[in-house]
Structure formats: C-alpha cells, structure tokens
A and B are shown apart, each in its own frame.
Chain A
Amino acid sequence: MSNSVISVIYRFLEEYRTKTSNKLKVVDAYLFYILLTGALQFLYCLLVGTFPFNSFLAGFISCVGAFILGVCLRIQINPDNKGDFLSISQERAFADFLLAHTVLHLVVINFIG
C-alpha cells in the first residue's frame, strides 16, 4: 500500500518537473512561499495565543487571499486552459491579479490595526 503511494508521488513529481512550463513553476514557487508564510503565522497563533486577534486575522487572510489570487492567475495563464478563457489574455489575467491585490492590500492594512 505505502509502496503504491510513494510511487504515485514520485510519478507526480516527475511529471511535474518535465511537463510544467517554467512560467507556471515560477508562479508555483510564489504560491508555495505564500503557503509557508500563512502556515507559520497560524503556528505562531496556536503557540502564543490570539492577541492581537485583528492583526492575526489580517495577516492570515492576506496570505489566504494572495494564495487564491495566485491560483486564479495560474489557472488563467496555463496554456492548457486556453479554451476556457478565450476572452482573457495573459496580460489581462495579470492586470486582474494586480487590481485584486490592490483591493486585498487595502482591506488587510485597514484591518491590521
């Protein structure tokens, strides 16, 4: 059983390394960074307590929001999904990404206190 799981994971990693374009890997690295940051914030909150709660929420939501926006960007610039996003060019996706991030940052900074 564990054998098959490990082999699946190995296979997945191989496919990822070869099949994914560099551009997508860059975005994936960014997503991984966001994930780590969010996880570390959450760990801190678990260890030390939620004071000040609004700051914790602001930071955590920022990570979550950025991750979601990053995923959206990745989906939209993936050439395999071109059929689903005919009207949205890559540049347009990036512009949307920036605009959404501006709003997210405004809200996060407002809430961070």
Chain B
Amino acid sequence: GLEPGSNCVFCLVLLTVALGAQALTPSHHLSLSDVERLKGLLSQPFTDLASAYYSIVGLSKLGASVADENMPVSNETRDILLAAVSEDSTVTQIFRAVSALSSLGLPLASQEVVAALIARIAKEDNVLAITTALQTATRLSQQAELGGILEEIEDLAARLDDLGGVYLQFEEGLEATALFVTAAYTLSDHADTEPPLKEDQVIQLANSVFSKKSWDSRSEAFSVACAAAALSSNRFHVPVIVSTQGPATVSHSQPILHLLVTDILSNPLASASVLVESAQAVASKSVVLSQAPFSLRDGIFELNFMASQPASGYYQFAVVVTGDSRLVANQVELKVKVSTEVAITNMDLSVVDKDQSIGTKTSRVDYPFKAKGSFTADSHQNFAMTFQLVDVNTGVELTPHQTFVRFHNQKTGQEVVFVAEPDGKNLYKFELDTAERKSEFDSMSGTYVLHLIVGDATLENPILWNVADVVLKFLDEEAPAAIQSKTLYMPKPDIQHLFREPEKKPPTVVSNTFTALVLSPFLLLLILWFKLGANISNFSLSPSSVLFHVGHACMLGLMYVYWTHLNMFQTLKYLAIIGSLTFLAGNRMLAQKAVKRIAAEQSSRLAKYRSLR
C-alpha cells in the first residue's frame, strides 16, 4: 500500500484544519513547486526507449515542450506491428504496437484490436493489464465498438481499496492507481461517455495519487504527471482545490480574504465564480454573511469581510465554486479568523485597607507608561487592580484568553503569576490579599515588579506591560531560603530497601516441648496395644509377607526422603516401583491370610456344630 510521508501527513493536517471539510474535499494536490519537481524528474536525460517514452509523454502532458523525434518506417516494421495485434500477444505488446501505429499515422483495424483486447483481458485479469487495455482503446477510432472495454472501468474501480474513507488505491501501488485514473479519463473523453466514478471516489483517487511528493522512479513520476493532466482537463470530472492565500485571517489592516481556486495542477480556474453561501460565527452561531460573491482580481478571488463588521473571533465559511458543470468537490468549508487589536483602558491601582477604615488611594496609569510611585501593601492591606480591555476599532469590550498579573522579585528571582478575571460587566479585577497569599511568595518581603500580560489567538497585539512596582511586606519573614527549584534537581535521599521481616517464631523451648508432647501419644498407643494383648505371634515368615513389610517400610522411608530431597515427579517414579512390588507381595500375603482365616472359621463352625449335636 501507500504510506504518505510525515511531510504529507503534516500537509494533510494543515489542509484539514484550514478546510475543515465535512463533505469530502481533496486533501492532496500538486502545488506549483510539486509540478516543478515532477518536471525536473522527467527532464533528466534518457538513455533507453522506456525512459524516452515516459519523459516525452509525461512532459508533454504537463505542458512542457519536448524536442521532436522523427522516425522513418519500413514496410516490414509495419507488418510486424500489425501482426502484434492478436490474441496471442500480451496486452502490453498490443498497446505498444497500437501506440506505434497510431503515432506513425499508419492505419489499423479497430474492431480487431477490440476483439484481441477483450480476449486478452479474460486471460490476463490483473489491474495493470486491464489499465493498459484501456489505454490501448484510446488510440482506436471513435467509431469502434468500445462498450466492452468501457465496462472494465467500473470493474476495475470495484477492486480499489478504501483506506479510512480518505484514500482509494490499488494494492499494486501508486503507479497502478495513477495509470488507472489516466486511462479511465482518457478513454471516457475519447468515447464521450461519463466514467462510472462517483464524486467521492474521484476525490479519494486524487488523494492517493497526489499524497506522495517525491517520486522513486521516472515511471512513477510519469504516471503521476499523466493522472494530474487527466484530472485537470478531462470532460467530466475536474476536482477543484480551494485554499486561502496565506493564513485565513482578516483584520482591520488586512480586511480582504484571498482565495486561490485551482485545479489539481494548481492552475487557476479561469471560468469559476466563487460564492460565500454563509459565514457563521463559531462562538455565537449567528450568521454574519450570506450569498456574498467573491470578486476575481489577477487570478485570485477576493472578499472584503471586514465590511460586514464582524466581531473578532472565528467564523465558519461555506464556500461554493460554480461556473463549470465538471467541477467536483466544489463545496468547501473554511475557518476564517477575524483578529483585532486590544487597548487597556481605565487601569486603576490602589492599596485598600482590610478594615477599610482608611480611604483607598487610587492611581490611574495609562498604557504604556509605568506608575510613578511604588505601591506598598503589608499584611493589613490588599493591593487591587481594575481595568478594561476594549477593541481598538469598535470599542467593544473583549475577554481574551490570557490575562495574567505577574509579580517578579528582581533580587531573589521569584516569579508569581495570578489570573485577572472579568466580572459580569466585563470589568477586570485583581486583588492581592497579602496575608492570604504569603505562601506563594514564600513570605519574602521586598519590591516586586508588576507586569500585566494580555494575549489571545485573535489579538494582533499581545501586551506585556510593566505597570508598577509593588512593595510587599509579609509577617514572620524567613531567612532567604534557597529557592525550591534549586533542590529539585539534587539527588534525593537514598531509599533503603526493607526486606520482608521474618515471621515471629516461638522460642525453641516451646516448640521442642510440643514436639515431644505430640510424639508422646505413640507411647500411649504402644502401652494400650500391649495391654490389649495385641501381638505379632501370627507373623508368618513367608517370602511375600517379608517382602510386603520391607516394601511398606521402604515406602515410608521414601516419604521421608521426599520431604528432604526429592520432588513430586521423582517420588512418584520411585513410589510406582516400590508400590507395585509391595502391592503384589501384600496381595499374596493377604490372600494367604484370608485362606487361613476362612479355614479357621469353618473349622470353628464345624466344632460348634458338632458340639451342639
């Protein structure tokens, strides 16, 4: 696929911001510098036929002149070319033959060519082959039956990949897409049939082809040049590019909005007329202008927007370009900024006593002068400032985004910034309560230089005004401690890693006692068994019995070894071996025991029976 370079993404962003399109409008086109670069690449000297073809044809499409080449033709050459037109040649061969024949002015049978092409398309079903077939058809007579070939345009268009609704291109790449655009429009013009491409598709194709601004090879440059020429001068679809000349800003000093309306090659559209359908303020949504035409001067469309006396701010323009039925994407949205200059009026500084027993002393200061004396405020007093911001041209009150009051201590380098806020009547007020704000000043008493900073995107004259000097006196002044920022970048204190504390264990005595205690019932068991008369007198020394007991003992031993050394897998392995032996022996032993028991029971039953009788 196609990857626009970061350059192009930046252009895309800029253009998107400038155009703010909701309907699809071209996000890429060839600016004049792009066209020059394209011509430069094609003007490089050529050494083989392919390069010659690309350069000559490409430059002629861009309108540059090319040296004339004359070639004599012999009968054999003509026969070879005519023979190439058949089902057995590839589409490219047919194309070259037809191009050569038509360029040399030799007659050819259009119907035969069409038949050969349709047969080849069925066999070579790829994008490039079909595009070449389309190109071939443009060289044929207009009386030929081109319907079958024209249908291929729609089929090919269906194979385009849609990327994010912005780009439409073949997976074969930029060249294939550009060649397709060229072929489709050239053939449509030749056959006088509108190509089956929708407006959005045309724009998306243009975006894909013109998003790349530096080309890898001559053939790529050639394809882009051909596509640009096709899109700027075909009979059906001409994408129009609307952009502002310079930033989209008007002001009192520059009241005219300049628009450039061009085609894809940045050629101005001579016959267009441009109209503002509506201009709406972004903030208040009120419509300031509607159905106002632009006037054309020296190829640039102009409109005096300031004549409508718009307030400063942003405006959304809906612009329509008419005058040519071929124009595509002729409805554009633009964001226009109206900027102005601000003036500060009625700047009053005063020191107000908190209990208001002593009257306030207000001084007026005029921009850009500084107040004559300095103002002193200690912890019983507040320092207050009021002012108004007005539009220089209209006298309307403004509320810019940035109105900061900055205190700067020249000796310690401290800088404290506050925001001045307007009240309901757009009168700006700032009050500094010395006692309340002492933490921001680190309680450093001294002389602070006061600046007022006013700024906004719509202001042409941001203001930095040194208004006055203010002496602040704080209570409990600390010794000038090093400013916080100095210690910010020193190494911090080391953090010692605290390993997990081992759990508290009981003293060894206790655990030892309990170990003995837990083992003691075993002794009790042995005693009980002895008292009950349990014995091993019945122990038969048969091999299976011995083996069983040995095996069983081994299994218990294995358990101990498992606890100390082994893992589950090894244990299971050993257990399987010992266990099966023990099982077999045990089975034997128990069977023998069972036989003995049953025999004993039977004999005792017999004895009982006999005694009863």
Question: Which residues from chain A sit less than 8 Å from chain B, CB to CB?
Answer: 22, 25-26, 29-30, 32-33, 36-37, 40-41, 44, 47-49, 51-52, 89-92, 94-95, 98, 102, 105-106, 109-110, 112
Contacts and interface: CB of A to CB of B under 8 A. Distances in A.
Contacts of B559: 105-106, 109
A48 B504 CA distance: 10
A40 B594 contact: no
A95 B587 CA distance: 8
Contact of A33 (B524, B532, B579): B524
Given A33-B524, A109-B562, 5 more contacts: A26-B529, A26-B532, A36-B521, A37-B522, A51-B503
Measured as residues with beta carbon below 8 angstroms from the partner, the interface class of chain B is: 35 or more
A25 B532 contact: yes
A98 B528 contact: no
Contact of A51 (B505, B534, B555, B568): B505
A45 to B, nearest CB: 10
B510 interface: yes
A106 B504 CA distance: 29
Contact of A94 (B504, B514, B590): B590
A32 B579 contact: no
Interface in B557-585: 559, 562-563, 568, 571, 575, 579
Contacts of B579: 102
Given A41-B518, A90-B594, A102-B575, A110 B568 contact: yes
B524 A48 contact: no
B606 to A, nearest CB: 18
A37 B590 contact: no
A40 B518 contact: yes
A40 to B, nearest CB: 5
Contacts of A90: 594, 597
Interface string B535-565: 0000000000000000010011001001100
Given A22-B533, A30-B525, A89 B511 contact: no
A91 B593 contact: yes
12 contacts: A26-B532, A32-B525, A40-B514, A40-B521, A48-B506, A51-B504, A52-B503, A91-B590, A98-B586, A105-B556, A105-B559, A106-B559
Nearest to B560: A109
Contacts of B593: 91
B517 interface: yes
B590 A102 contact: no
Contacts of A29: 525, 528-529, 532
Interface string B497-515: 0000001111000110010
A3 B597 CA distance: 44
A100 B522 CA distance: 21
Contacts of A49: 504, 506
Contacts of B144: none
Contacts of A51: 503-505
B251 to A, nearest CB: 79
Given A22-B533, A49-B506, A51-B503, A33 B521 contact: yes
Contacts of B568: 110
Contacts of B594: 89-91
A48 B518 contact: no
Nearest to B591: A91
Contacts of B505: 51
Contact of A102 (B504, B510, B555): B555
Contacts of A41: 518
Nearest to A40: B518
A14 B479 CA distance: 96
Contacts of B524: 32-33, 36
A25 B593 CA distance: 20
A98 B579 CA distance: 11
Nearest to A52: B503
A102 B562 CA distance: 13
A99 to B, nearest CB: 8
Nearest to A45: B514
Contact of B521 (A37, A52, A95): A37
Contacts of B591: 91
Interface string B253-290: 00000000000000000000000000000000000000
